[in-house]
Amino acid sequence: MAPITVGSLCSGCDGLGLALEALGCEVAWQAETDPIAAILLRDRFDVPNHGDLRTAAFTPVDLIAAGFPCQDVSDAGRRAGMRRGNRTGLWFDIAEIVGDLHPSWVVLENVAQLARRGLDQVTHDLARLGYVGRWGTFTAAAVGAPHKRARLFLLASHTDSVRRTGWAHSGGAVQQTVRIGSDTAGSGTRHQWEPSPAYHQRVPPRDHLGKYEEAVVRWEHQTRPAPPLADQWGRVIPEFTEWMMGLPPGWVTDLEAARRPMLRIIGNSVVPQQAVHALQRLSALLEK
């Protein structure tokens, strides 16, 4: 069976695209305006980047994915809610694209606060366009990451669609079926990054991690050994945050970019392992 083709909107460094490809999908195109992230997408995916989704023309795909801006619904942001013209209001443009392309599936990701500051609008628009779906809040900690990062994920299927995603799994335990980390930056392709060797023995104590050491070691077992936490000036280094986010080594930090833009791109990403878990669970609910 041909893979599910994905159109990625608000792509960033496309951690959501990584998750979907780990589930067997194929990213066909992306839409990202940030110039540094655009360089990353070109080097990592080599598919068309259509830039500004509000003015681009897109080809049909099986699935539209979007981790759209959260600034207007996040507790850390403006809390203004979703409105046309603001950052989170890009949803209205995304809904128009969904209506035009009529994909079989829609995958959305945002902060958990979307549930009370805009999800009603999202689900109303999807229902109007002929979609049924499931949503839920999932944490990165649930898959072993050393931080909570509660995020809302939504999976919707068009009522005309008869094909199943094939992602569903049953049972309450988290199934760690996907490795997205690697020990060697740039090893392999985005489809098949070389997995880390099993990291089963506890690393020597690292006093500077304090109470967080156990959480760090747990994530090392799921991914790869953690890079150093900070540089010589005591600043958290991008390589450490990249590891915390479950991204392959060098996915962002191989770029010739300053520290702060790299941290911003990493911080706006999706933890791929978290997204895989969320989409497996939502698929199981949707395809009962």
Beta strands in 42-119 (DSSP E): 63-66, 105-111
Return the percent helix, strand and coil in the chain, to nearest 5.
Answer: 35, 15, 50
User: DSSP characters for 144-178?
Assistant: T-SS---EEEEEEEETT-----S----SSS-----
Contact status, residue 230 vs residue 241, Cβ threshold 8 Å: no
Sign of the Cα torsion 177, 4, 105, 94 reads positive
- How far apart, in Å, do the first and last CA atoms of the chain sit? 21
Dihedrals phi, psi of 233, to nearest 5 degrees: -100, 5
> Considering 10, 13, 25, 70, which one is annotated as catalytic?
70
| Residue 156 bridge partners (DSSP) | 106, 133
Taking phi over 0 as left and psi of -120 to 50 as alpha, with beta for the rest, 12 belongs to: left
Q: Is 13 a known active-site residue?
A: no
Q: How many other C-beta atoms lie within 10 A of the C-beta of residue 142? A: 16
Task: Tell me which residues are annotated as active site.
Answer: 70
